[in-house]
Structure 1
């Protein structure tokens, strides 16, 4: 099936069956994989029940599927796991490729979950004799609902799932997992996310999500589901599905990298340090100028559009170069005749603005003519804060080199030109290296990723 694969993670005491109503409402248009987490459902006997172990188990299930695009949706406890797994995917950790999207449904927060000690103690006491009674399981489900409108079959299934949950897994989450502060591990995610909450969820509703979750997913919309408590996926599955389907439609086809190339980066042929550096470059520079004024950055964009007309992969080169100038990044050298990089770029742009004020609105041929004059040493200024004609020529050469360097450094550009020279060995003591060096001949691992369907266009 085309499109991204959506992995579904349930909450404490539930199972993959808690997603049945949502899956039915999503229909055949979305490929879903609903998982029973360790200690729950069909995996109740699993001992991998800590938060870290559960997240690693989920990462392994995602790797097994080898999706070209993937999203993860997590409810309650599953939400904390989903956020952690998404962060790993962004960083290329645990063999994961960068995700396409994240869905958080009444999700436990990356920081310690806001739950009263009275409720936590009561939930632990339910298992005092080693099992949980049907009455206590029913009370747990009822407390997470806004009202009695859930179909009896759905309620009965949820109660049965609670009763077959591992006592050890239940207590592990209450005593440790829910209290762990994984804020630093999750960080600020760049993956497009959506937050869905029951309007009557007392602990993990909109106020706490906005306070504790949104700092990790800035800009994510928060959708409240009327007539739902903490278990919105049980009470209003069609409404939850509607929000999920909308998010899937929005992000489908927008994976940051082709799946085959992303899996190469995640493979053992690439060191962890190289992987971190490459995937960090997927982040967008943002709209706010840093070393340049808005006018300078806009003009730089027009110059770069002629210096390096982009094909295949279109990046905000002006934004990336601006950010690099602000942080002292760059290629490590400059022409001795030019001032330090940030000052040189500002002066060069101001020189163009002063000599050709309408550069940004000229047609392509006229813009090229201006750049040809700079290249020939025929455009410059002796005014304060500007560059003379001979220095403008050097400045343009620096712009050309930095534009190409910035574009080629991006993993998506490397995928587009089929570059895999970085995959010369991972973190093993013996590096794999290359054994075939003849022109036009590929090693087996190179053929594997180069034949990916998303690279055939």
Structure 2
């Protein structure tokens, strides 16, 4: 099994699309699979699942802008992030792939499919949308994990990510001596140890002390854009295979979302995973691996 780390990206302002998003490659299987993480995540969040799929897939674990080792930007746009993902994979000679995304990354994945999933060759009637040299659309199949295309109010008082980002920004980093101190300080606001560990994966230390690797302050200011999902004239229904995975204990997918999801993705099938919350792939990795294995097999046929 081959694994390679992308070099550290500079944390500077930049305009998207960007063809140099950091990518970790796992496996040597015949089908390319792109994994896109959620808010405050990073590509490595999917490494265990990618390893489990290594015989059937070559997985590309992408750090999205303002996260992980990716560059910081001066705005937030799902369209630009989707175009950056495609541009980055094309620099690695990946012309078509199964695209998997969770939460915010699920919205990016949907945008990749809507913008690049049902097209002719570049420069054709589709207006230059990405495809392989033989005209195959960039997206072979799509998996969307615990998110819907319905715009959501992430600024609402009880919105979970508003609370999480506010809690992170409220940490007094100069007073933190070790990571355990940060965990203890965060515990009063974030009770679940797994969620704290997820957030604290982003805490890094150098000669100047502790800092957050993601662009946390800007992400907090863009939270309404993170919750939104604006459709444009460049978005077209994706008719390929789509599996829509939700957690039974999560409120991010509702029955009312099904009509819009099916309008945009007519081939969609919905799977609700029992006992899983918002981070379905962390709560029930066995089920997610099974679902993705079937989708990869379908894409390979």
**With structure 1 as the length reference, what TM-score do the two structures score?**
0.47
Q: Does 1:96 align with 2:144?
A: no
User: What is the rounded CA distance, in whole Å, between the counterparts of 1:2 and 1:124 in structure 2?
Assistant: 37
Q: Deviations over 1:18-51 (max 9, x none)?
A: 1123223323221110101111111164556432
Give the alignment's Cα RMSD to 1 decimal: 3.1
User: What is the rounded CA distance, in whole Å, between the counterparts of 2:49 and 2:114 in structure 1?
Assistant: 25
Taking a change above 3 Å as real, the CA distance of residues 68 and 124 of structure 1, as seen in their structure-2 partners, is closer
Q: Secondary structure at the match of 1:117?
A: coil
Q: Which residue of 1 aligns with 2:24?
A: none
Which of 273, 288, 295 pairs up with 1:225? 273
Q: Deviations over 1:114-141 (max 9, x none)?
A: 6571134534533555878645489569
Q: Highest Rg: 1 or 2?
A: 1
Which of 195, 200, 204 pairs up with 1:159? 200
Q: Deviations over 1:158-179 (max 9, x none)?
A: 5323753212442254122322
User: What is the rounded CA distance, in whole Å, between the counterparts of 2:293 and 2:274 in structure 1?
Assistant: 18
User: What is the rounded CA distance, in whole Å, between the counterparts of 1:30 and 1:8 in structure 2?
Assistant: 11
Which of 44, 50, 56 pairs up with 1:23? 50
Gaps of 5+ in 1: 143-147, 254-457
Q: Superposition pairs for residues 335-374 of structure 1, below 5 Å?
A: none
Q: Which residue of 1 aligns with 2:230?
A: 181
Q: Which has the higher helix share?
A: 1
Which of 63, 66, 74 pairs up with 1:36? 63
Which of 181, 193, 213 pairs up with 2:242? 193
Higher relative contact order (CA 8 A, sep 6+): 2
CA contact under 8 A between 1:199 and 1:206: conserved in structure 2? no
Which of 122, 127, 138 pairs up with 2:163? 122
CA contact under 8 A between 1:18 and 1:158: conserved in structure 2? no
Q: Secondary structure at the match of 1:42?
A: coil
Taking a change above 3 Å as real, the CA distance of residues 11 and 218 of structure 1, as seen in their structure-2 partners, is same
User: What is the rounded CA distance, in whole Å, between the counterparts of 2:172 and 2:266 in structure 1?
Assistant: 41
Q: Which has the higher strand share?
A: 2
Which of 43, 63, 71 pairs up with 2:90? 63
CA contact under 8 A between 1:7 and 1:71: conserved in structure 2? yes
Q: Deviations over 1:224-279 (max 9, x none)?
A: 112210011111112111101101101214xxxxxxxxxxxxxxxxxxxxxxxxxx
CA contact under 8 A between 1:100 and 1:191: conserved in structure 2? yes
Q: Which residue of 1 aligns with 2:3?
A: none
Gaps of 5+ in 2: 1-27, 132-136, 174-181, 204-211
Q: Which residue of 2 aligns with 1:252?
A: 300
Taking a change above 3 Å as real, the CA distance of residues 239 and 168 of structure 1, as seen in their structure-2 partners, is same
CA contact under 8 A between 2:150 and 2:229: conserved in structure 1? yes
User: What is the rounded CA distance, in whole Å, between the counterparts of 1:179 and 1:187 in structure 2?
Assistant: 18
Q: Deviations over 1:338-388 (max 9, x none)?
A: xxxxxxxxxxxxxxxxxxxxxxxxxxxxxxxxxxxxxxxxxxxxxxxxxxx
CA contact under 8 A between 1:3 and 1:69: conserved in structure 2? no
Taking a change above 3 Å as real, the CA distance of residues 131 and 57 of structure 1, as seen in their structure-2 partners, is farther
Q: Which residue of 1 aligns with 2:17?
A: none
Q: Which residue of 2 aligns with 1:110?
A: 149
Taking a change above 3 Å as real, the CA distance of residues 48 and 211 of structure 1, as seen in their structure-2 partners, is same
Q: Deviations over 1:57-86 (max 9, x none)?
A: 212112112224312111000111111111
CA contact under 8 A between 1:56 and 1:94: conserved in structure 2? no
**With structure 2 as the length reference, what TM-score do the two structures score?**
0.69
CA contact under 8 A between 1:189 and 1:216: conserved in structure 2? yes
User: What is the rounded CA distance, in whole Å, between the counterparts of 2:99 and 2:282 in structure 1?
Assistant: 18
Q: Using the TM superposition, give the Cα deviation of residue 186 of structure 1 relative to its aligned residue in structure 2, in angstroms.
A: 3.5
Taking a change above 3 Å as real, the CA distance of residues 64 and 193 of structure 1, as seen in their structure-2 partners, is same
User: What is the rounded CA distance, in whole Å, between the counterparts of 1:224 and 1:81 in structure 2?
Assistant: 21
User: What is the rounded CA distance, in whole Å, between the counterparts of 1:24 and 1:231 in structure 2?
Assistant: 18
CA contact under 8 A between 2:49 and 2:289: conserved in structure 1? yes
Q: Deviations over 1:314-343 (max 9, x none)?
A: xxxxxxxxxxxxxxxxxxxxxxxxxxxxxx
